[in-house]
Amino acid sequence: MSDMLYPADEAALSDMLREAAGPLRIMGGGTRPIGRIAPAQALSTRRMQGITLYEPGAMTLVAKTGTSIEEIEAVLAAEKQRLAFEPMDHRAILGTSGQPTLGGVIAANVSGPRRIQVGAARDFALGVTFVDGTGQVLSNGGRVMKNVTGYDLVKLMSGSWGTLGVLTEVALKVLPVSETQTTLKVHVTTWADAVASMSAALGTPFDVSGAATVQAKNGGFDSLIRIEGFETSVQYRASELTQCLAKFGAVDAVVDPWAEVKDLTAWADLDTVWRISVRPTDSLSVLELMQNLQQDRGFHCQLDWGGGLIWLGLEAAQMSDVQAGLALHQTLQRHVAQLRGHATLMTSGLLRDQDLCHFQPPERAIERVSQSLRKTFDPRGILNPERMS
Amino acid sequence: MEMPQPNAEILSKKAKVAAALRAVLPYDAVIDDPSETRAYECDALTAYRCPPMIAVLPATTQEVSDVLKICHREGVPVVPRGSGTSLAGGALPTADCVILGVAKMNKVLETDYDNRLIRVQSGRTNLSVSGAVEEEDFFYAPDPSSQLACAIAGNIAMNSGGAHCLKYGVTTNNLMGVTLVMMDGEIIEVGGGYLDAPGLDILGVICGSEGQLGVVTEATLRILPKPEGARPVMIAFDSNEVAGACVADIIKAGVLPVAIEFMDRPIIEICENFAKAGYPDCEALLIVEVEGSEAEIQDQLDRISRIAKKHNPVELRQSQSAAESAAIWLGRKSAFGAVGQVADYMCLDGTIPVSALPEVLRRIKELSDQYGLRVGNVFHAGDGNMHPLIMFNANKEGDLELCESMGADVLRLCVEVGGCLTGEHGVGIEKRDLMETQYSAEDLEIQMAVKDVFDPGWLLNPSKVFPLSVSQSRRAS
């Protein structure tokens, strides 16, 4: 493969796409090599950089997609604002280096624990500019909070993994940083109690902004419930929630654990990681399946979004061989399909060279519509071909 | 406002189409008598009326599918209709169309409090979704002001907002899944009880597509626990600029109210005369509402009051009781009705960056003087969603056209300052011909190409959203 292409602006990118003779691998900082990566000429948005507009009073920031998340978060922090959807940094579990970019976060619709309260990356994207597979520069949405003018292609572009176009600029809604946060830990002995405790917390009016469960070091599970806001309000809600959660187990306030929960930093050494999205209470059925399949070999698990987001991880020693690994992957996707959810293989050393569906195979009608949309935006099929299969 | 000429060939087979529809629907669910189809001649944009060829009221997803198959086969345009409360003409029929009303489909299919969702048929009204989960102290957040009447189907079609979406988001942020019937009758499930599945966000593009991609028959909606309480503070200023600056300062201070409503002098006066809410004599009025426990509410109201006092308000009134809250909201909530008592009016909903508020209000005033039409502004200030009410006299020759012309100038102004034509009402027919001020030819072309994917024959609500000249070749094919 020849050297990476680095368009400096939309015009250069447009020329590159128009002249492309074969498939392109579209990337930002290259920190999220998730899905099928076919051999292709790499193209990075990294040189399209800079914040083009930031109005704290309007809670709006517009930036070029090659801008690093780190830079955006620093600029926001100076005005006591933030990306409220708290995008996950995948570098730990994927073993990548480089800088996560705005383009990558939107293209992969990357959110973190606060997603259950405030919405996903796609909910904060107000407008996009992108170049489609024919080299056309297109825009949709704008930079205002509410906009129903024409079709919402901003949503369609978010989470399209570069298969519909190369994002060049994104307008974001941003929110104030909370004055303070408190996290309550509820120690429980079963996954069922973990999910029930998170459901209970999320069913209160106390504005929970994070509900995750991690495996406790000395056995059992810790449900983590976060509340944020002004000091007096957080104190009040923490005390109400403590009472409400006491029936599940001992409740303590703990040091802010959310960076670790969000980025799965403790999972850096695992071989294989799946990300599964289901109805929160259906997570128990997935965990039961894993227990039956893995028996004594065990597995790693973290629940987020009140149980709706399941992270499953295996050490290399927890899988016997490639065939068993493939069978496990397929069994998981089949089971999750019955629950009408989705399982994605995020990374696997063992299964790296296998021909498999990283993303959940969609139902036939959805697949047909998706293929047809891809063909509309990228008739030659040059943008990240097969990435989402 | 121009509508396409009805297709004579379609009109000539009305009896055949009606008979085919009666073969798949109960007899009374097919309305083809001209004295009865008149009931569907308009939505809330009442200046434009046209009875449809036929109206149908299916009761199930399967019946919707059967209806669409027939219309697809016969090449008959279909205009989906929720409750007909669109202010943009989204459900305005053409003479050669079948109106597909979802009003009979109003069942709750599932409530799931553990997973905080509800599944309903799409004809259910917005407020009755909240009503269905009220006993467990939950609610459905998007609250368009027509919420008593408007259907979830229409909310999804227009991606409706409301006064409280500063905190809770609009329909698209609270919609988890839909059952969609495509124009050829195929039934597909998009999304569901889970969040953010990988794969193209087809749900995101369906929401807000104004009934042009398919007919939504069922929806999975996010429900939330009700806040413990809510109370507003009313703040009066002697200029729009200062009120605008106060809004920006509240937001910058990190207080995120559930609503910040803004009323200017003409609206304050009309509302005061109508509702006797006790509003002060001032240029601009803010109503800022916060939620939480009593102590939390008081804390937030105090913070907001401290910020507001730096801007020397004419008056500042914190509600201390439910009765006082009701009094503060009374004028605002009766604003549209009050204006309707003094004049006919056109309500726009262009959205602007909050920072452009003072400039836009000043220039709307200039346009008002130039056109000789009164304008009142009442809007969701936190998110820049304007609602200029342009007053006119429908019985005066040429006044509607004058009003529409001024409305177009106001919307062009919104786009010029970095905003958009419509923040929550939708394009419909009302803003269709202005789309080129916001989008380039290529930007419109890609949107129409998305419709091609779902409805290649352009039979679903075909004369909306895109300027007729721009969509002409597709509609004729």
Q: Give the C-alpha separation, B267 to B258, whole Å.
A: 22
B169 in the same domain as B115? yes
Q: How far is A255 from chain B (nearest CA, A)?
A: 23
CB contact under 8 A, A122 and B204: yes
Q: Is A110 helix (H, G, I), strand (E, B) or coil?
A: coil
Burial of B322 (0-12, 13-18, 19+ CB in 10 A): exposed
| Mean pLDDT, residues B408-424 taken together | 97
Residue B109 in contact with partner chain A when CB distance is under 8 A: no
If pLDDT is split at 50, 70 and 90, which confidence band does B138 have? very high
Which of B390, B416, B442 is a domain's end point?
A: B416
User: What's the pLDDT tens digit per position in B166-224?
Assistant: 899 999 999 999 999 999 999 999 999 999 877 999 999 999 999 999 999 999 999 99
Q: Give the C-alpha separation, A68 to A103, whole Å.
A: 9
Burial of B475 (0-12, 13-18, 19+ CB in 10 A): middle
Q: How far is B31 from chain A (nearest CA, A)?
A: 31
Fold of A264-348: Alpha-Beta Plaits (3.30.70)
Using the structure block, give the residue that is written with the tokens 């109106």. B99
Nearest to A144 among B253, B353, B425 (CB): B353
- Pick the residue from chain A with its C-alpha nearest to B202: A156
Residue B79 lies in a domain: yes
Burial B328-356 (b: 16+ CB within 10 A, else e): bbbbbbbbbebbeeebbbbbbbbbbbbbb
Residue B445 lies in a domain: no
CB contact under 8 A, A342 and B190: no
Spell out the long-range contacts of A370-374 with Cβ–Cβ below 8 A and sequence spacing 24 or more. A370/B199, A370/B200, A370/B202, A372/B453, A373/A156, A373/A164, A373/B200, A373/B202, A373/B450, A373/B453, A374/A163, A374/A164, A374/B200
Residue B355 lies in a domain: yes
CB contact under 8 A, B450 and A373: yes
Residues 127 to 186 of B: which have CB under 8 A from any A CB?
A: 137, 158-159, 161, 165-166, 169-170, 172-173, 186
Q: Is the pLDDT of residue B316 over 90?
A: yes
B221 in the same domain as B137? yes
- Pick the residue from chain B with its C-alpha nearest to A176: B254
Q: What is the pLDDT of residue B248?
A: 87
Radius of gyration of chain A (CA): 21
If pLDDT is split at 50, 70 and 90, which confidence band does B253 have? confident
We report the CATH number of the domain holding residue B189 as: 3.30.465.10
User: What's the pLDDT tens digit per position in B108-136?
Assistant: 999 999 999 999 999 999 999 999 999 99
Q: Which of B175, B446, B460 to mutate to probe the A interface, most A CBs <10 Å?
A: B446
In chain A, what are the domain boundaries?
Answer: 10-176, 180-262, 264-348
Q: Give the C-alpha separation, B5 to B95, whole Å.
A: 8
Q: How far is B197 from chain A (nearest CA, A)?
A: 6
Burial of B104 (0-12, 13-18, 19+ CB in 10 A): middle
Chain A hits for B172, CB-CB cut-off 8 Å, are 123, 152, 155
Nearest to B187, CA basis, from A371, A342, A334, A364? A364
User: What's the pLDDT tens digit per position in B358-367?
Assistant: 899 999 999 9
Residues 287 to 346 of B: which have CB under 8 A from any A CB?
A: 292-293, 295-296, 299-300, 303
Percent over 70 (pLDDT), chain B: 100
- Domain A264-348 in the same topology as domain A180-262: yes
| Mean pLDDT, residues B57-74 taken together | 98
Nearest to A147 among B380, B423, B435 (CB): B423
Residue B449 lies in a domain: no
Token pair of B9 as six digits: 């060939």
Q: What is the pLDDT of residue A2?
A: 62
CATH number of A10-176: 3.30.465.10
Residue B98 lies in a domain: yes
Q: How far is B15 from chain A (nearest CA, A)?
A: 33
Residue-level pLDDT, tens digit, chain A, 389 residues = 468 999 999 999 999 999 999 999 999 999 999 999 888 999 999 999 999 999 998 999 999 999 999 999 999 999 999 999 999 999 999 999 999 999 999 999 999 999 999 999 999 999 999 999 999 999 999 999 999 999 999 999 999 999 999 999 999 999 999 999 999 999 999 999 999 999 999 999 999 999 999 999 889 999 999 999 999 999 999 999 999 999 999 999 999 999 999 999 999 999 999 999 999 999 999 999 999 999 999 999 999 999 999 999 999 999 989 999 999 999 999 999 999 999 999 999 999 989 999 999 999 999 999 999 999 999 999 999 989 87
Cross-strand bridge partners of residue B30: B56
| Mean pLDDT, residues B379-384 taken together | 88
In angstroms, the Cα distances linking B468 to B67, B330, B452 are: 26, 41, 16
Q: Give the C-alpha separation, A343 to A312, whole Å.
A: 10
Q: What is the pLDDT of residue B312?
A: 96
Domain count, chain B: 4
If pLDDT is split at 50, 70 and 90, which confidence band does B3 have? confident
Residue B350 in contact with partner chain A when CB distance is under 8 A: no
User: What's the pLDDT tens digit per position in B16-41?
Assistant: 999 999 999 999 999 999 999 999 99
Q: What is the pLDDT of residue B162?
A: 86
Which of B210, B225, B240 is a domain's end point?
A: B225
Q: How far is A292 from chain B (nearest CA, A)?
A: 24
Residue B390 lies in a domain: yes
The boundaries of the domain holding residue B348 are 343-416
Using the structure block, give the residue that is written with the tokens 């959805």. A366
CB contact under 8 A, B115 and A140: no
Chain A hits for B449, CB-CB cut-off 8 Å, are 376
Residue B200 lies in a domain: yes
Residue B459 lies in a domain: no
B221 in the same domain as B208? yes
Q: What is the pLDDT of residue B477?
A: 64
Give the amino acid at A71: E
- Output the average pLDDT for chain B: 95
In angstroms, the Cα distances linking A381 to A133, A166, A274, A286, A387 are: 7, 13, 27, 35, 11
Chain A hits for B423, CB-CB cut-off 8 Å, are 144-148
Nearest to B159 among A132, A137, A148 (CB): A148
We report the CATH number of the domain holding residue B56 as: 3.30.43.10
Q: What is the pLDDT of residue B476?
A: 78
How many contacts, defined by CB atoms under 8 Å, are there between A and B? Answer: 270
Nearest to B351, CA basis, from A149, A176, A6? A149
Nearest to A369 among B303, B426, B453 (CB): B453
Nearest to A145, CA basis, from B290, B258, B165, B407? B165
Q: What's A160's DSSP letter? A: S
CB contact under 8 A, A309 and B195: yes
ipTM of the complex in this document: 0.97
Q: Is B70 helix (H, G, I), strand (E, B) or coil?
A: helix
Q: Give the C-alpha separation, A126 to B329, whole Å.
A: 30
- Pick the residue from chain B with its C-alpha nearest to A306: B115
| Mean pLDDT, residues B94-108 taken together | 98
CB contact under 8 A, A369 and B418: no
Q: Are B53 and B32 spatial neighbours (Cβ–Cβ below 8 Å)?
A: yes
CB contact under 8 A, A80 and B254: yes
Q: How far is B195 from chain A (nearest CA, A)?
A: 6
Token pair of A36 as six digits: 């099928």
Q: Are A214 and A221 spatial neighbours (Cβ–Cβ below 8 Å)?
A: yes
Nearest to B199 among A58, A278, A388 (CB): A388
Chain A hits for B222, CB-CB cut-off 8 Å, are none
Nearest to B159 among A152, A156, A163 (CB): A152
Residue A269, number of CB atoms within 10 A of its CB: 11
B90 in the same domain as B135? no
Give domain A180-262's CATH number out of 3.30.70.2190, 3.90.1200.10, 3.60.21.10, 3.50.50.60.
3.30.70.2190
Nearest to B208 among A56, A136, A152 (CB): A152
Residues 226 to 265 of B: which have CB under 8 A from any A CB?
A: 226-228, 248-249, 251-256
